[in-house]
Amino acid sequence: MASSSSSSWALLFFALFALSKVSNGKAPSGLVMDFYKESCPQAEEIIREQVKLLYKRHKNTAFSWLRNLFHDCAVESCDASLLLDSTKKTISEKETDRSFGMRNFRYLEDIKDAVERECPGVVSCSDILVLSARDGIVSNGKEVERRKGAHSVGRTHCVKLVHRLYPEVDPALNPDHVPHMLKKCYDPLPDPKAVQYVRNDRGTPMKLDNNYYVNILENKGLLMVDHELAHDPRTRPYVKKMAKSQDYFFQHFSRAIALLSENNPLTGEQGEIRRHCNLANKRVSED
């Protein structure tokens, strides 16, 4: 993940965390487990294997899957609208400022192609997006267990944080962390297209864990929202719990992922099963 998405995710996580306290644990109407059991029984296994393959080739894909889920489902619904290309009349969600730094959309097309070869016109792009996020988290977790000392998730582009470094350093930042930030973001006016960024967690940058919460309690959060999350009396008690217990973090993280993936999905006759996730079927026919 890149840009300010990790902090945005943290805020969303806390909103979902609060919602989980009052949720009855039932999926929204229209959602069922094993939906493709009859129509495409191999679907989940195909997606899982494709995610594993892509993760072996490109380690950062696991976090791209997770960010895709966040950006697609947190807007209006889990409908894979994030994956659609721009048209003459509509700007793609992929090209908006909130999607700054996102990439790897083409790999979802690889997964879609693999599923289509087995079950053409059956599995929706939104389900592929959600399942790839789930399996991406699992793949990364297993890889971390295998590689002792493996490298928390994501990075923030310099263009999003230089206001905390220039013209003067924000006094709320941990002074021990500032030299590293200045080294990575040496230009007060960074090029938005340049690959200049700071890892959100220097200790375990490619590992999904609770280290983000440890860092923000030590004033090592890169963005102002990180600092506010750690010091606001409404959220600080939960930040401290997350930082203290990895199990507590994973318990509520998994529940938040489930709640997010159930956000207002298209079911029944709503929507369509796209042949290509970046194009509505009407555009494919026209082309």
What positions carry a catalytic annotation? 71
Closest listed residue to residue 128, CA positions, set 177, 68, 59: 68
Q: Please say whether the beta carbons of 99 and 71 come within 8 A.
A: yes
Q: Is 71 exposed, middle or buried (0-12, 13-18, 19+ CB in 10 A)?
A: buried
CA atoms within 13 A on the CB side of 115: 33
Asked whether 154 and 134 are in contact (CB, 8 A), the reply is no
> What are the φ and ψ backbone dihedral angles of 156, each rounded to 5 degrees?
-120, 125
Whether omega for the bond prior to residue 167 falls within 30 degrees of 0, making it cis, is: yes
Nearest-angstrom CA–CA distance, 21 and 60: 32
Are the C-beta atoms of residues 140 and 124 closer than 8 Å to each other? no
Contact 158, 184 (CB under 8 A): yes
The Cβ of residue 241 has, within 10 Å, a number of other Cβ atoms equal to 14
